[in-house]
Chains A and B, each alone.
Chain A
Amino acid sequence: MSLDEIYTGHDVDLVRVATRLRAVIRPDQVRDGATETHLYRRDASTMSNTAGIVCFAESTADVQAIVQIAAEFGVPFLARGSGTGLAGGAVPPPGAIVISTTKMNKIISVDPVSRMAWVEPGVLNLDLSKQIAHLGVHFAPDPSSQQTCSIGGNVANNSGGPHCLADGVTNAHIHGMEVVLPDGSVTIFGGEEPEPDGFDLRGVFVGSEGMFGVATKVCVRLMQNPPDVATMLMDFASVSDGADLVSDIIAAGIVPAAVEMMDQLCLVAVEAFIHAGLPVEQAAALLIEVVGPARGVAADVARISELATARNVGGVRIAADDAERALLWKGRKSAFGAIANIKPDYYLHDTVVPRNKLSGVLDQIYAIVKEHDLQVLNVFHAGDGNLHPLLVFDGKEPGVYERVHAAGRAIVKASVDAGGVLSGEHGIGLEKRDLMPLMFSETDLAAQADLRRAFDPQMLSNPDKVLPSPATCGEIHRAPEGAWI
């Protein structure tokens, strides 16, 4: 099945649209050749399509001009940052105008006293933190793709990351944004002041997956760098002991900066890759980081160690210096790269379960994967119950994709059945759009569709994502090729 079948046809003369675009922005910013439209056909998910026209916006005025022309011709459009999204949110509908924000990459202003900065959406997540490091502050959300993902993309997906456990996900770190609405008008949601008048449209825009307009400037909250950090690696002979320790820590009133878990297959793969002396003989390891003033950090480390002893912890390794800390985090963050040593392909999932269900759902995941004759690595944000099972496989094996998709569906269902949710940080996009009824009733989805319609009555801004039909347009849409839904 092709993507054409899931998208409503847009019978528009794209040559005329491109000509109009070249009249309002520089001609070299408008690309409609096969190379560009093919390059922008996909994001980091397994789904793809072909863009109609690719525009490289350099300013709010550029974005506004492009969106106005899209509205005039009734052509769908979508903003695209770095294209690292995993749920197909930046896969263009056929004939869509892709507005690349990569050239809008300036840090406009930084206020280290009030701890906020205005940035353009194309600024890369890690670049921002690096460029303001000398001021003793950082941008807290740290997705694993932080070297390449953009702030605009973080806003669109309400991105998470290991250090969101204590400090919250992207929504808690965005004060406001300048937005080009789908009708081409420009406004500011939220802002530097704490209680702007009206609805919290700032909060609503974050995580709207590009369907409410295009952010052209973002006001981010910056966090003070901690004076002291302790990074611990604890290993366990049973996955459930490690998982249960996570709940024990939270129940004891400690919210670490990060609590990450890696299971044995992951430890083995990563160790072969980075040689950090990881506990490859054990069933699982937890990477726990606590931050703050020294005495509080020491007290938390002592208490967590006590709790771990009660859960039969094997080894406890505390990073002696920044170099060892960096090595341990490299182990966590390079897990995806290490997989190539096992199998050439992987499918990364993203669900959330209540912390106290982690152990049970992990058991179910192992059973599901065995049943489908696959292998799984678990490397995830245990502190907030955010699972990331990585199904590893060789795409050349006949029939393997069917097994991968079936196992994925079973894992998502098991997570929701355990009182969890469809996605913790990757978003819904195309990937999980048709699974939304697992969590929401028709009435619930209709309310979300109402909100979408209020922002975008013409339904042109990144259409056909997030909401399953009939909530979007009343037509029966089918799953795109490559989706495991």
Chain B
Amino acid sequence: MDLTVDDFAANIGSTEPVAVVGLATRATPPGDVRLVTAPVGIDWIQPAEMTIQCGAGTPVDDVAQALAEHGQQIPFPPGGTIGGALAVGHSGIRRLAYGAMRDALLQTHYVGSTGKVVKAGGPTVKNVSGFDLCRLMVGSRGTLGFLGDVILRTRPISAYEQWFTSDRDPWTLLTGLFRPTTVLWDGAATWVLLEGHEGDVTEMAEVYGLNPIDRAPDLPSGGRWSMAPSELPSLRVAQPGSFIAEIGVGVVHHTRPRPSRQVDPVQAQLHARIKGEFDPTGRLNPGVDVLTVI
């Protein structure tokens, strides 16, 4: 790493508002606040452990490239930094098979509002030692602490993968195919990503009449909606071309911003208490409210 976590902590200090910025691909840093950047660089890769340790400021694409040399990957959407991806907490489009991105974070050293370094989690793939501060950090948008370094769980890159299109009902494919990696639907067409042994993928594609294509469709980027997967059929009435939904997951990539929602007052109180414990002066990423950010 180009910076130790202790040096990162010294840059953050213990007083005055401060914001952390990565490659600014996922969020714009607040104005009029001192900015810090997290350590960059890969410490180690242990293929037989399926783990990697790197600075939170390391670009996702650099990590992906380094892991690919070992036939492994992390379930992060491309672009930006590792820390940025974790802070926002959005999984990639392979969530249906890979699970949520948050499950990849095994351990982190983050810097809290007092400028102290805190270790959360542990280095092994299985660990129930104490409260799960790693889960608390993922999606907290830097409002509780700034990620310094992380240990991530990797997964093997499949022997074979292929995108397909189909005009069949996406739910028929979701229930019929064995653990498809991705099922996308825009109200008319369905796209499917299958991984595994080439013979199995080819056979499944034949059984369901899938047509191979070169790549995934381009996703609308106007808004990211989160819906219960059972509610996705309600999008049948939406304007064609206005969305692509992740079937079985519930993330909808939309041309329009997500409608705002009411906040449960019990949740709001609990969030305020957590923020109050972790950052009582509100100095970390000031102005960001995880309950209302879209």
A residues near B (Cβ < 8 Å) are 111-116, 157-158, 160, 164, 168-169, 171-172, 181, 185-188, 191-201, 203-204, 206-208, 211, 224, 226-227, 247-248, 250-251, 253-255, 292-296, 299, 352-356, 381, 384-386, 419-428, 432, 436, 439-441, 443-445, 447-448, 450-455, 457, 466-467
Is B52 part of the binding interface, using a Cβ–Cβ cutoff of 8 Å? no
Is B132 part of the binding interface, using a Cβ–Cβ cutoff of 8 Å? yes
Contacts of B26 in A (CB 8 A): none
- B48 engages A250 (CB within 8 Å): yes
- A422 engages B132 (CB within 8 Å): no
- A181-B266, A193-B228 given; A296·B197 CB < 8 A: yes
- A199-B139, A251-B47, A424-B124 given; A443·B230 CB < 8 A: no
Is B130 part of the binding interface, using a Cβ–Cβ cutoff of 8 Å? yes
- B118 engages A185 (CB within 8 Å): no
- A421 engages B224 (CB within 8 Å): no
New A-B pairs, 11, CB < 8 Å, besides A247-B48, A451-B133, A453-B273: A181-B270, A187-B264, A187-B267, A194-B91, A255-B156, A295-B199, A354-B46, A427-B128, A428-B129, A439-B129, A445-B130
User: Which of B14-22, B28-36, B98-106 lies on the face that meets chain A?
Assistant: B98-106
- B132 engages A204 (CB within 8 Å): yes
The A-contacting residues of B in range 211-255, CB under 8 angstroms, are: 224, 226-230, 246, 248-251
Q: Which of A192, A254, A439, A457 lies in contact with B273, CB distance below 8 A?
A: A457
- A436 engages B125 (CB within 8 Å): no
- B251 engages A194 (CB within 8 Å): yes
The A-contacting residues of B in range 183-218, CB under 8 angstroms, are: 196-197, 199-200, 203-204
Q: Which residue of B lies closest to A173 (CB)?
A: B99
- B271 engages A424 (CB within 8 Å): no
- A204 engages B126 (CB within 8 Å): no
Number of residues on chain B facing chain A (CB within 8 A): 82
Report B254 CB to chain A, min CB distance, Å: 13
- A203 engages B274 (CB within 8 Å): no
Report A262 CB to chain B, min CB distance, Å: 19
Contacts of A247 in B (CB 8 A): 48-49
- A296-B196, A355-B49 given; A194·B136 CB < 8 A: no
- A454 engages B230 (CB within 8 Å): no
- B89 engages A195 (CB within 8 Å): yes
- A255-B156, A454-B276 given; A440·B249 CB < 8 A: no
- B133 engages A448 (CB within 8 Å): yes
Report B239 CB to chain A, min CB distance, Å: 22
Q: How far is the CA of A199 from the CA of B229 in the complex (A)?
A: 21
Contacts of A251 in B (CB 8 A): 47-48
Report A347 CB to chain B, min CB distance, Å: 19
- B230 engages A113 (CB within 8 Å): yes
Is B135 part of the binding interface, using a Cβ–Cβ cutoff of 8 Å? yes
Contacts of A186 in B (CB 8 A): 266
- A423 engages B132 (CB within 8 Å): no
- A200 engages B270 (CB within 8 Å): no
A-B contact pairs, 26 of them (CB 8 A): A113-B174, A114-B230, A193-B250, A194-B95, A194-B229, A203-B136, A208-B132, A255-B50, A292-B178, A292-B196, A292-B197, A293-B178, A296-B159, A296-B196, A356-B48, A386-B126, A419-B124, A421-B122, A423-B127, A424-B124, A439-B122, A443-B116, A447-B133, A451-B136, A455-B273, A466-B131
Contacts of A113 in B (CB 8 A): 171, 174-175, 230
Contacts of A447 in B (CB 8 A): 112, 118, 120, 133, 278
Q: Which of B127, B224, B227 lies in contact with A424, CB distance below 8 A?
A: B127
Contacts of B89 in A (CB 8 A): 195, 200
Q: How far is the CA of A208 from the CA of B130 in the complex (A)?
A: 8
Contacts of B119 in A (CB 8 A): 440-441, 444
Select the residue from B118, B131, B135 with max chain A CB neighbours within 10 A.
B131
- B228 engages A191 (CB within 8 Å): yes
- B266 engages A187 (CB within 8 Å): yes
Q: How far is the CA of A472 from the CA of B190 in the complex (A)?
A: 53
Select the residue from A164, A250, A445 with max chain B CB neighbours within 10 A.
A250
- A164 engages B90 (CB within 8 Å): no
Report A419 CB to chain B, min CB distance, Å: 6
